[in-house]
């Protein structure tokens, strides 16, 4: 089962606002060609999403007003950078100005509707995935046509036991760059347009239309696999894919044929990597089109706040 690795019990009723805020600014935390967002929280070195969640949770416990929409309306880029600056590694947050703009918009829309808590959006939407997805489009941070952050936020709310939906079957996979990289390598998604394939191989930026086309194909592939496999839960399948692609199918040195000691695949997925006649390796190595190739594709280059 998909589950979260950080408990939000100590945030009480503010957990929904915490996730709404955190997901809104969670994009490009491990950008191609740059150092990932990272730092120490509670004596543990964390990276990307894990660091973002742990550090913001720590800050919100010190100052609960950080989770109030009225506070979001006044948050500056400098304040956000200070929140996420690590004592040892320094500041690694990219595009702080854009992220702060998204947070202020989050507050503006909430206040305009008279909502102090995101639970009001949930109730106003009839607890329906389809209606909530449409309502989220009003927020700049959640305006992605492929709805990565929207599906991720709804999955987090479900998995933390905060929300239940009347139409859960419409909860889809949140497609980010880890998902794109993995599915391009496995071959569940193929790029047939020569010009676009050349951009991927040479790590040249794609345009908005190409980005949407690639991620939409990955979205559809995950939904199809969930359907034909009998799992019937694309969000749950996403979690499996995401953890494997993030930890095993890394950009530069994937653990295709043997999991190295630095592999961070969570224990609950480790059984998938065990084989009786060989060392632990990527669960998809026997079917992956790229496992034994040196010219593996990476995700496409695209500057965005969508994912």
- Chain-wide mean pLDDT for the chain? 95
151 and 190 in a single domain? The answer is no
* Residue-range definition of the domain harbouring residue 181: 177-273
Q: Can you give the CATH number for the domain in which 57 is found?
A: 1.10.340
pLDDT tens, residue by residue, 167-221:
999 999 999 999 999 999 999 999 999 999 999 999 999 999 999 999 999 999 9
Q: Is residue 279 part of a domain?
A: no
Q: What percent of the chain shows pLDDT beyond 70?
A: 100
Q: What is the pLDDT of residue 278?
A: 81
Which of 170, 198, 232 is the last residue before a domain boundary?
170
181 and 249 in a single domain? The answer is yes
DSSP state of 37: P
φ and ψ at residue 86, rounded to 5 degrees: -95, 145
Q: Is residue 32 part of a domain?
A: yes
95 and 65 in a single domain? The answer is yes
**CA 28 to CA 304: how far, in whole Å?**
8
**CA 220 to CA 225: how far, in whole Å?**
9
109 and 69 in a single domain? The answer is yes
Which of 170, 195, 226 is the last residue before a domain boundary?
170
153 and 230 in a single domain? The answer is no
63 and 80 in a single domain? The answer is yes
- Label residue 121 by pLDDT band (50, 70, 90): very high
> What's the structural domain count of the chain?
2
Q: What is the pLDDT of residue 274?
A: 95
70 and 161 in a single domain? The answer is yes
266 and 182 in a single domain? The answer is yes
**CA 292 to CA 278: how far, in whole Å?**
15
Which of 170, 202, 237 is the last residue before a domain boundary?
170
User: Are the beta carbons of 149 and 142 closer than 8 angstroms?
Assistant: yes
Q: Cite the DSSP H helix spans in the chain.
A: 15-24, 48-62, 69-72, 77-83, 96-113, 119-124, 129-136, 148-159, 177-186, 194-201, 208-229, 234-247, 267-270
First to last CA, the chain: 23
- Label residue 8 by pLDDT band (50, 70, 90): confident
The answer to whether residue 6 scores a pLDDT higher than 80 is no
139 and 181 in a single domain? The answer is no
Q: Is residue 301 part of a domain?
A: no
The better pLDDT of the pair 9, 89 is held by: 89
In the Cβ-directed half-sphere of 197, how many Cα atoms lie within 13 Å? 10
The better pLDDT of the pair 297, 34 is held by: 297
**CA 289 to CA 105: how far, in whole Å?**
43
Q: Cite the DSSP H helix spans in 176-298.
A: 177-186, 194-201, 208-229, 234-247, 267-270
Q: Is residue 296 part of a domain?
A: no
DSSP state of 252: S
Q: What is the pLDDT of residue 4?
A: 82
Q: Is residue 158 part of a domain?
A: yes
Q: Is residue 297 part of a domain?
A: no
CA distances to 114, 236, 271 from 175, rounded to whole Å, are 31, 13, 24
Q: Is residue 278 part of a domain?
A: no
38 and 110 in a single domain? The answer is yes
Q: Is residue 208 part of a domain?
A: yes
189 and 161 in a single domain? The answer is no
In a 3-state reduction of DSSP, which class is residue 253? coil
165 and 187 in a single domain? The answer is no
**CA 3 to CA 161: how far, in whole Å?**
10
């Amino acid at each position: 089962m998909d589950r979260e690795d950080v408990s939000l019990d100590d945030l009480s009723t503010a957990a929904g606002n915490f996730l709404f805020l955190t997901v809104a600014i969670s994009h490009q935390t491990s950008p191609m060609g740059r150092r990932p967002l990272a730092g120490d929280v509670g004596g543990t070195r964390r990276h990307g999403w894990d660091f973002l969640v742990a550090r913001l949770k720590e800050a919100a416990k010190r100052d609960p007003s950080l989770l109030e929409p009225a506070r979001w309306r006044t948050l500056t880029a400098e304040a956000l950078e200070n929140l996420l600056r690590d004592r040892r590694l320094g500041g690694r947050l990219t595009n702080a100005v854009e992220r702060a703009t998204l947070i202020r918009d989050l507050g503006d829309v909430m206040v305009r509707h008279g909502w102090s808590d995101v639970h009001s959006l949930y109730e106003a939407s009839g607890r329906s995935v389809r209606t909530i997805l449409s309502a989220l489009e009003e927020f700049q941070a959640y305006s992605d046509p492929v709805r990565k952050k929207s599906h991720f936020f709804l999955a987090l709310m479900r998995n933390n036991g905060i929300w239940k939906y009347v139409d859960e079957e419409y909860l889809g996979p949140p497609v980010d760059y880890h998902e794109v990289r993995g599915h391009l390598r496995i071959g569940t998604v193929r790029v047939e347009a020569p010009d676009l394939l050349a951009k991927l191989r040479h790590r040249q930026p794609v345009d908005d239309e190409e980005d949407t086309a690639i991620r939409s194909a990955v979205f559809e592939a995950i939904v199809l696999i969930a359907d034909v496999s009998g799992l019937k839960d694309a969000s749950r399948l996403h979690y499996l894919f995401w953890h494997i692609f993030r930890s095993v199918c890394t950009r530069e040195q994937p653990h295709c044929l043997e999991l190295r000691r630095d592999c961070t695949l969570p224990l609950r997925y480790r059984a998938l990597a065990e084989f009786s006649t060989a060392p632990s390796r990527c669960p998809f190595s026997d079917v992956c089109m790229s496992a034994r190739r040196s010219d593996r594709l990476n995700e496409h280059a695209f500057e965005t706040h969508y994912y």
